[in-house]
Structure 1
Amino acid sequence: MKKYHQLLLFVTTVISLSLLLVYRHQYNRLHYVLEVFNFFGHPCNISNLEHTDSIGGYQDWGVEPIWQQSENIYIYSAFWSKNEARAIVLHSEQSEPIRNCYLWYEDKEKPLIGKFKYTKIHTDKVILPIAYFYYCTLTQDHQPYAVSFSTKAKKDNKKILLTIQSDHHNKKNTTICVAPTKFDKSYLVEFLSFHKLVGVNDFIFYQNDIPHRLAKILSNLSARLNIKVRFFPWNYPKTEGSLSRLVVESDCILRTTGISNTSITLQMNEFIVPSGPLISFTESFNKGDGSVPERISLPVQTFCVENTQRRKPIVLQNTDVSYNNDNDVQYVYRPRRQESTVVTHALAKDVISIHKYTKCLEKPARAYRDNSILRFSMDLTRSTLVQLFLSGHL
């Protein structure tokens, strides 16, 4: 009996020791997996990003702009800085002129009347209807939260909420605002991925047709990609064109003042490509030494899109440049103190240029090849969003 008892204890000991070794092995494997997760991050689950109720933290760009009709004018957005409200407005020359403006304060039931003036928004092109800046000035100890404009004194003036402009200690290098464009998923993915490679992390899209599912995924992925993406609705009937771009550019400059060192308005098919020894977009002029002018012009090169195979990004498949729009430029803006004195510095295309990709109705008579974007080929193709798109998961 004693022998059986000893045998039972021996078997129990062996089983216990075996289980201990198995559990220790599994524990070590789990510990290793956790260490890998902590180092590389958790695996990406597109389904979770698509269906989660939460959306990644937004950069606070102020009040969301939206077209609103007030009497005979259309107001897009309004900003407050140094005792003055400034609104972006559209109206025709035949419209009855605005005569009054009002500022609303949280601790006052009725608005205070301000001093009204207006100026046309400067543009090199003739654009109708005409875009204006409306100003409403009033010296007060505290900030208003809304502004109203009217042709005559009324009590039910429509309130336009104000975005308060302020200086930030930790400014962003550059913010790209994307004017309304016909939606194309491949361009959107390549646009974000490429500009991240050249040093831009902050984007504001003014769009009305980007699918909500895609916008949600991009917003939730933004923290892992180290970018900030914000989508603003565009409810004006016209989606594309010079007017839309002018309004968005005006809003972008005012919205990024005090937050970003520079801003530029592009369309989804336009890419800022550094040339020569430069790799980063910010290396070209974001030196922050005060010696850079308020506005910098970048030459635009138009690329006729002929190849759109899904095997690699479209911008890497099309390198032939048309001479048709060889004099076009786009501007990078720095916050400026006086609107009347704008110094512009032009950069040559052998330093940096904007590559614009478009379907050409006919093959250009004259063309040349620009391969400067191809040096980003490997990094762009391997980027997270491009890989998700090419594999059909986005």
Structure 2
Amino acid sequence: MRKYYRLILFIFLFISTIALLFYWHEYNRLRYVLEVLNFFGQPPEVSVTSDCLLNTSLFSTENVTIPDSITPVWHRLGNDLFVFSAFWEVVGKKEHVKVIGVARYAASLKLGCRLWYEGHEYSSEGRISHSVINMKVSHALDDPDKVNPYFILCSPEVTLDAPPYAVELYSEEQQPRRSPIILPVLFLDPSPEPSNNTTVVCVVPSNRRITPAEVAEFVSFHQILGVGQYIIYDDGLLTPTALDILKDKSLGYKASLLPWNFPFAAPEAASTALKWDCLLRSLSVRPVGVIQLQWNQLAVPRYHHTLSAMVRDFDARISTAQFVLTALHFCFEYPEEKSAVPFKALRRFYHADLKQVKEEPQLVLQRPSLVVQGLKTQQRISPGIIAIHTYMHCNEADNQATPPRKYDNSISKFKNELQDSRLLKLWSRHQG
């Protein structure tokens, strides 16, 4: 009789094991489906009022952080004067709010300002001053169409213990006076010593449609390099799905989305204003370095594994303000390699021969704390150490010959980590 009991127990155990394995397989399949649905949205005929994965959802809007209480945009302060962002800066014993603005040469800068403090019912008067931010391209001093970026400083009449949380700017010349512009104030940490090993990437507007695949590859790759924060200046051409990708909160990075409605057709003034907003904004996290890139650019070190490790190797004493890097043009016209990883850069190892390019493009990785202090020390880093891989069409004209090519597969060292990227896996499932 006992042998029959044992047989029954054995059969029950066998069936239970098979059922458990089947359940586990189906559970994983269902979870993958729910992750994709939670990222890319539910079908229109289904009404869902909560996240598919509840507290374990892969993507969430909580990760899209706006450092200011109000999203920065260019605000009109006068006929030809606009302001964008404000920062609390302490230089020695001097304290002031530094506002980034832009104006035509002929614009009036007769302004007034007031400061708002936590716990105070009324604002406090401030003293206003301004200075022109230097640009690479020079114009005639009396050119009425010249557009200058400015630092507008508002210094408190009476110094209080805490920094202000908002600054109010108004024009003293226009009558009747327009409504004042109120900007939130970010606190700047001037310490040159980084608080962690993170690197900040500021993504500049590309003036073209940005696909979700570009965003997924850009974020996945730079996260491997130790990039912990992205400051994205959005000109409105990020697709809705691309924006959803930036909302991921489980991968350890943060994305700040800033609308960039620059008011003038002045590329040099726009890039200068963006550069300084990027530098000052990144000071709040005290990174090892900050670099400005477009969505079609990847910072690829050949020997180092992270950007912070490279910076520390070349500047252990924290004395170099800028590292000049070289951009390599990887042409879409060149043949592609085969790769099982859903990452376009791993299929393109040929770049244009720089000897045939008239002007070698350069980018700069900066230590924001040193640049803000006015240091101009530089180091040029060879493309054999690190290069900015730029993916583009090299012969836009039909009658223009494709430039000679060179082979560079330095990005392939990151293949295994890209293959394990959760974001790329999710994106490949969606495409499949």
Of 120, 130, 133, which aligns to 1:121?
A: 133
Aligned to 2:240: 212
Name the counterpart of 1:66: 73
User: Residues of 1 paired with 2:37 and 2:265: CA distance?
Assistant: 31
Question: Residue 378 and residue 141 in structure 1: after superposition, are their counterparts in 2 closer, same or farther (change >3 A)?
Answer: closer
**Quick check: 1:258–1:335 contact (8 Å CA) kept in 2?**
no
Give the whole-Å Cα distance in 2 for the aligned partners of 1:377 and 1:62. Answer: 37
- Other structure's SS at 1:350 match: coil
Q: 1:157 aligns with which of 174, 180, 185?
A: 180
Q: Indicate which of 108, 111, 114 corresponds to 1:96.
A: 108
Q: Retained in 2: the 8 A contact 1:321–1:368?
A: yes
Are residues 1:272 and 2:262 paired?
no
2:352 maps to 1:321:
yes
Counterparts in 2 of 1:244 and 1:179: CA distance versus 1, 3 Å? farther
CA distance in 1, matches of 2:430, 2:411: 24
Q: 1:107 and 1:68 mapped to 2: Cα distance?
A: 27
Distance 1:375 1:119 in 2: 46
Compared CA separation, residues 69 and 60, structure 1 to 2 (3 A): closer
- Does structure 2 conserve the Cα–Cα contact (< 8 Å) formed by 1:300 and 1:326? no
* CA apart distance, 1:60: 6.1
- Partner of 1:342 in structure 2? 376
Partners of 2:288 and 2:237 in 1: CA distance: 29
The one-character-per-residue Cα deviations of 1:67-121 (angstroms, maximum 9, x if unpaired) are: 1111231111111133311111111001012342222234445432222222222
Deviation digits for residues 25-51 of structure 1 (CA, Å, limit 9, x no counterpart): 5896599889x98xxxx6461111334
Match of 1:256 in 2: 282
* Contact 1:105–1:143, Cα closer than 8 Å, also in 2: yes
Task: Name structure 1 gaps, 5 residues minimum.
Answer: 1-10
1:254: Cα distance to partner? 0.6
* 1:383 and 2:421 aligned: yes
**SS at structure 2 position matched to 1:285:** helix
Distance in structure 1 (CA, Å) of the matches to 2:18 and 2:78: 72
Change (3 A) 1:22 1:76: same
Structure of larger gyration radius: 1
The structure-2 alpha-carbon separation of the partners of 1:198 and 1:251, relative to structure 1 and needing over 3 Å to count, comes to: same
Residue identity in the other structure for 2:364: Y
2:403 is the counterpart of 1:373: no
Counterpart of 1:320, as a letter, is: H
Conserved? CA contact 1:219–1:229, under 8 Å = yes
User: Partners in 1 of 2:364 and 2:96 — Cα distance?
Assistant: 26
Change (3 A) 1:30 1:61: farther
| The 10-residue stretch of structure 1 (360-369 or 292-301) with the greater mean CA deviation from structure 2 | 360-369
Check if 1:296 corresponds to 2:303. Answer: no
Residue identity in the other structure for 2:350: T
On the 8 A contact 2:65/2:254 being kept in 1, the answer is: yes
Instruction: Report the 3-state secondary structure (helix = DSSP H, G, I; strand = E; otherwise coil) of the residue aligned with 2:154.
Output: strand
Identical residues among aligned pairs (%): 22
Report 1:33-44 matches (<5 A): 43=32
Cα displacement string for residues 304-356 of structure 1 (whole angstroms, at most 9, x for unaligned residues): 22269897533232522243265322122213366333212221111111122
Structure 2: distance between partners of 1:307 and 1:191: 21
CA contact (8 A) 1:180 1:244 kept: no
Q: Name the structure 2 match of 1:49.
A: 39
CA distance 1:391–1:326, shift in 2 (3 Å): farther
Q: Within 2, Cα distance between the matches of 1:110 and 1:158?
A: 16
Q: In the aligned structure 2, how far is the partner of 1:75 from the partner of 1:206? A: 15
Equivalent residue pairs, number: 376
Q: Does 1:193 align with 2:257?
A: no
Distance in 1 of aligned mates of 2:271 and 2:424? 27
Residue type at the aligned position of 1:163:
L
**Aligned-residue CA RMSD in angstroms?**
3.8
- Residue 55 of structure 2 is matched in structure 1 by none
Alignment deviations for residues 212-261 of structure 1 (CA, whole Å, 9 cap, x no partner): 343224413x41x3332332222336799544433322111111114122
- Is residue 320–residue 367 contact of structure 1 (8 Å, CA) maintained in 2? yes
TM (normalized to structure 2)? 0.73
Query: 1:135 is matched with which residue?
Result: 153
- Structure 1's 339 and 291: CA in aligned 2 closer, same or farther, altered over 3 A? closer
Q: Helix, strand or coil for the counterpart of 1:132?
A: strand
Higher mean displacement: 85-94 or 20-29: 20-29
> 1:231 & 1:239 partners in 2: Cα distance?
22
